[in-house]
Amino acid sequence: MSTRPHPVAGEDYPRTYQQFLEWFADEPACRRYLARCRWADGFECAQCGGKAEPWTTGRGYLHCRQCGSQVSVTAGTIFERTRMPLRTWFAAIWFVTSQKDGASALGLKRVLGLGSYQTAWTWLHKLRHAMVRPGRDQLCGRIEVDETYVGGSDLGGKRGRGSERKKIVVIAVEVHSPKGFGRVRMRRIPDVSGDSLVPFVCNVVEKGSEILTDGWSGYNKLSKCGYRHERVVFSDTGDPAHVSMPGVHRIAALLKRWLLSTHQGSVSGKHLDYYLDEYTFRFNRRTSRSRGMLFYRLIEQAVMTAPLPYRQIVQRKHNI
Ligand SMILES: [Zn+2]
């Protein structure tokens, strides 16, 4: 399974909303599109490995010409066993990706006329789950890493008193020279110890990269883990306005603003991971010229992402 490096507007994904309506007029059209995204290099039967073009049964299953087994294009994806039409799912994905800041559950419920808030909420979580590309690339080059606190009051200062009720999020961002940012990764962590911080870096950053942190001891082991670790320690004047990691600081500010505006700050700690996934997806594709491209990427990832039952969503503790 491969992802297309340069999908083309009007060929791989709809250029406009009008085109979106024309392309996905019925269920078979949606299924064909999913099949094309799922088997970008051509169909391959999961049972026998046969690569002959399958035929489609009256009920929309793909029938392998070689072994006769039948598969649903949604099996093993986030759409598995959905009782709603794929057209409604596609509309949800278009709605979520075509808006710069995404959608709230209430907004999605209204625009799609979904019966319940819970359905809209569950769908958004499934889509956020699909926003984390399986086997995604690691960050590389020059990377700032720092923690930020989300929720609660902003009093108390960094790693200081008053931060107990806030959620700790560690952020890594590629910094470009002389200015600008590349991609980000972020994760909620239980505390700021090395046991929480270092595995995050090892997970999301390529070995050999240069990691910039402040003087916090939690980062001490990075150089032993194959990174070039540079501590950026400013004078100890205690100036509260001083920002040692401007990239992370900027992204943290954008993240908090997004949580407050699109979601009215109503994100509970337990589900924060999902919102971090969505924010990461949006941030890393902020330069995409077409919103249709985001639609394409999300569909592409949704068919590569294993189903996520409601039960699992409400129990989720950690991403990755
Ligand atoms: Zn087969």
**Which pLDDT tens digit goes with each residue over 192-220?**
999 999 999 999 999 999 999 999 999 99
Ligand 1 centre and the CA of 286: distance in Å? 40
Ligand 1 centre and the CA of 35: distance in Å? 15
Ligand 1 centre and the CA of 32: distance in Å? 18
Q: What is residue 160's predicted lDDT score, i.e. its pLDDT?
A: 55
Q: Are 213 and 143 in contact (CB under 8 A)?
A: no
Ligand 1 centre and the CA of 33: distance in Å? 21
Ligand 1 centre and the CA of 43: distance in Å? 10
Q: Where are the alpha helices (DSSP H) in 47-161?
A: 86-98, 105-112, 117-130
Q: What is residue 198's predicted lDDT score, i.e. its pLDDT?
A: 97
- What letter represents residue 81's amino acid? R
Strand ranges (DSSP E) for the chain? 55-56, 62-63, 70-71, 142-150, 167-175, 181-189, 210-213, 228-231
Ligand 1 centre and the CA of 132: distance in Å? 30
Burial of 247: CB neighbours in 10 Å, binned 0-12, 13-18, 19+: buried
Q: What is residue 81's predicted lDDT score, i.e. its pLDDT?
A: 87
| pLDDT at residue 238 is higher than 70 | no
Looking at residues 1-22, what average pLDDT do you find? 84
> Which tens digit of pLDDT belongs to each residue from 49-73?
999 999 999 888 999 999 999 999 9
Q: What is residue 90's predicted lDDT score, i.e. its pLDDT?
A: 97
Ligand 1 centre and the CA of 190: distance in Å? 46
Ligand 1 centre and the CA of 2: distance in Å? 20
The radius of gyration of the chain's CA atoms, rounded to the nearest angstrom, is: 22
Residue 80 tokens read as 């598995």
Q: What is the mean pLDDT of the chain?
A: 86
Ligand 1 centre and the CA of 42: distance in Å? 14
290: Cα within 13 Å, side-chain hemisphere: 17
Of 49, 42, 80, give the one whose Cα is nearest residue 67: 49
